[in-house]
Amino acid sequence: MALGFLATAQAQIPELADSPGYLMMQAAGPSESPQIASTSAEPGGNAPASTAPVSPLYPGAHPYYHRVIKPGMGPQPLSSGQKFGLAARASISGMSFASNFISAGWSHVNDSRPHYGTDRAAFGERLGAAKLKQTGENFFSYAIMASAFHQDPHYYIRGPSYSIKNRAIYSATRVLITRNDNGSTGVNWSKLVGLACSNALVNAYYPDRDRGVKASITAYGTNLLTTAATLELDEFLPDVIHVVHHKKK
């Protein structure tokens, strides 16, 4: 059932939300990116109004299903169902599969956790485990916990209108601080609890030597650091792509 849902979601998207193509669209600037009208939330609720705009890049899809939001688009709360849609799209994006491959490759070369061995079959097991773990993180953080704690799962890029120092601090601290559905700021329980849940879940399929409380706590700390590094990439990668894109013209 879950695989059918993911396949349906993927079939509806011409280019996935966090793919390199999407980042290129972000970096292109306002004149080259699709124009999206402003939206408003329904009075007294978190779900967007029925008149929510449709992105030309994703026909039929709510534009705020993208995990990373371009500067100037502004906040937009999602319903619980839409948060699950965002988690599904984040799990099947091109960037997610690339990160899974890199993670599995690094673990394989160093024969590190999860310890499946160093043969070809072991790499396949590592790749599968990396995808399962990332998918778990996405659904726990962006969907289940974001709905339970009424928090916004998006990352809003600040952009070049802010100083580099300001942006670096802002992106790194989004692991601990986030926007709530009502517009206020609070502790990022969605991410903190979601990562804890996904790290506990790997005990169901990791090798015996990689299971247990100590291994899970160590992995949890590592995940917090890698998440902060990923958010830095989300913030500054569009700038790099923008510079490279315009130099080629």
Q: For residue 99, how many other CB atoms are within 10 A of its CB? A: 17
Average predicted confidence (pLDDT) for the chain? 78
Measured distance CA(126)–CA(240) in Å, rounded: 31
- Tokens, residue 15: 């280019």
Cα separation of the two ends of the chain: 46
- Tokens, residue 201: 């879940």
pLDDT on residue 17: 37
- Residue of 224, 204, 203 lying closest to 214 (CA atoms): 203
The model's pLDDT over 160-193, given as tens digits with 9 standing for 90+, comes to 999 999 999 999 999 999 999 999 999 999 999 9
Q: How confident is the model at residue 8 (pLDDT cuts 50, 70, 90)?
A: very low
Tell me the domain boundaries of the chain: 64-247
- Residue of 46, 56, 33 lying closest to 76 (CA atoms): 46
Measured distance CA(244)–CA(238) in Å, rounded: 10
The model's pLDDT over 198-209, given as tens digits with 9 standing for 90+, comes to 999 999 999 999
